[in-house]
Amino acid sequence: MDDIELAVVGAGPAGIEAATAAALAGVNVALIDSSPKPGGQFFHQMPDPFECDDDSPHHAKGRQLLQRLESTGVHLLRDTLAWGIFEGPKPGTWCLTLHGPDVPPRLNVRAVILATGAFDRSIPFPGWDLPGVMTAGAAQRMIKNQRMLPGKRAILTGTGPLQLSAAAHLVDAGVEVVAVCESAPELLRRGIPHLLALLGQWERMREGLSYLRTLAGAGVPYRLGWAVTSARGGDRVSEATMAKLDRSGRPIRKSEIAEAVDTIVVGYGLTPSTELCRLLECELEFNRPRGGFVPRRNERLETPVPGIYAVGDGAGVGGAVMAMIEGRIAGQSAAVQLGRIPERVAVEGISREQAALRREQRFSRMLGDLFSPPAGLYALATPDTVICRCEQVTLAQIREAISYGAQSVSDVKNLVRTGMGNCQGRTCGSIVAHMLAMETGRTMEDVMYFNVRPPVHPLPLGVIEEYNEAAGASDQGRAMP
């Protein structure tokens, strides 16, 4: 694979479109993904031993996208982790370090498009670490892809349209849903200024209305301005308490209602996966409506690091449609940089995407403004609530770190090991940042985000040893401590 010019990391909607657009422009592309099949979470493909009889428009669109990708000759590296990225052996090149079956340990390229997607965001409350408490994405995947019920009697808490989707799928699968708690305050009043953002979004509106009809038909209460505030149980969750929230997002205790459940589905939106951006020291900015810290990009979606592009939810949560548009723009931009197409061809292609991109950006801003979790929810945790589940770090320990003078999330990490477990802070990183800002009165820009080092994914020690031996025997790459 010595002739690969462009690496695209992530084979979701954004990555597939980026790789396809670049390949159609004559670029030799490698598309890297950790899953056995491309498609990402949005167009998730069943493993080979399973068959799917889904004939929905969504599945058909995903199948069409994948068939188009296959026709381009893109090199698809499946089951492969891109666990590091470094300066390449030649000026203006990049070296990605890989781990997977039948893939080179290093891939040297002239440009990289990061389409790393996003992951479910949770907000901790007492009992959130009990078995039976899961994210909306996990519940949907169990039902749609694994054909399994997460439980028999469920309650949902969180914010955003994915709540409706998850609840409707649970009802259709036969789960008794006792309530959907939508935490966003004053949703209807705050939505009025955004009505124009709904223009051209008829398909999404029809989909949302179909979910509401499903819930109404099953008699599921949709509680605006409510949240699950605690959970109790032994080997599994057995009871959840929900409460109405004030304008700041803090619970009004006299409104509390307890419900017997065996499943709590938590869905507070998504957090962009920026580990490789941070490893490259791309400049990030905090953008609350787009999910947190996101890389700065120019109009061609290139980051301040030359030759590094960032697209899709990994560069700011905006949904699959916007991700695909950004992927096409970045693919054409990379093709210009690599000398495969003239500038005027790219300008023409990108200009054709602009109207749709602006429409999706308006819709994304609306969703971000309406459904960003209220800050008061981060006060639900009690001192003994576990915040970092990998390292079993409680809120009391985080507060102790603050009393010792911790001013940033990395200070907290150094003192009490938050973010040092298998998930590498993907679950607790945003939580610790919000809690630190709330406890100290500092801004999110002040408390920042966890620093990262390679590997950005857990790996067998032998892989690191082989990498260091090769790095020491050559002038490319760098050894890791």
348 Cβ neighbours under 8 A, 6+ residues apart:
none
Predicted pLDDT at 144: 78
For 91-135, how does the pLDDT look when each residue is reduced to its tens digit (9 = 90+)? Answer: 999 999 999 999 999 999 999 999 999 999 999 999 999 999 999
| Domains (range + CATH), the chain | 6-119+271-341 (3.50.50.60), 122-268 (3.50.50.60), 382-447 (1.10.10.1100)
- When pLDDT is cut at 50, 70 and 90, the band that residue 55 belongs to is low
DSSP helix/strand/coil, 214: helix
Measuring CA to CA, which residue among 423, 358, 417 is closest to residue 393? 417
Residue 50 has pLDDT above 90, yes or no: no
* H helix or E strand, kind and range, residue 96: strand 94-99
DSSP string, 327-360: HHHHHHHHHHHTTSS-HHHHHHHHHHHHHHHHHH
For 363-409, how does the pLDDT look when each residue is reduced to its tens digit (9 = 90+)? Answer: 999 999 999 999 999 999 999 999 999 999 999 999 999 999 999 99
Predicted pLDDT at 138: 92
Task: Indicate the average pLDDT of the chain.
Answer: 92
Predicted pLDDT at 474: 57
Question: Across the strands, what pairs with 393?
Answer: 388
Within 279-402, strands assigned E span 284-287, 292-295, 308-310, 386-388, 393-394
Average pLDDT (274-300) is: 95
Question: What is the rounded CA–CA span in Å between residue 315 and residue 303?
Answer: 10
Predicted pLDDT at 51: 62
298, HSE (Cβ side, Cα atoms, 13 Å):
10
Predicted pLDDT at 472: 65
Predicted pLDDT at 98: 96
Question: What is the rounded CA–CA span in Å between residue 384 and residue 382?
Answer: 6
For 11-43, how does the pLDDT look when each residue is reduced to its tens digit (9 = 90+)? Answer: 999 999 999 999 999 999 999 999 988 888 887
- When pLDDT is cut at 50, 70 and 90, the band that residue 479 belongs to is low
Helix/strand/coil percentages in the chain, nearest 5: 40, 20, 40
Output phi, psi for 221, to 5 deg: -70, 135
Contact 365, 289 (CB under 8 A): yes
- When pLDDT is cut at 50, 70 and 90, the band that residue 187 belongs to is confident
Question: What is the rounded CA–CA span in Å between residue 147 and residue 250?
Answer: 36
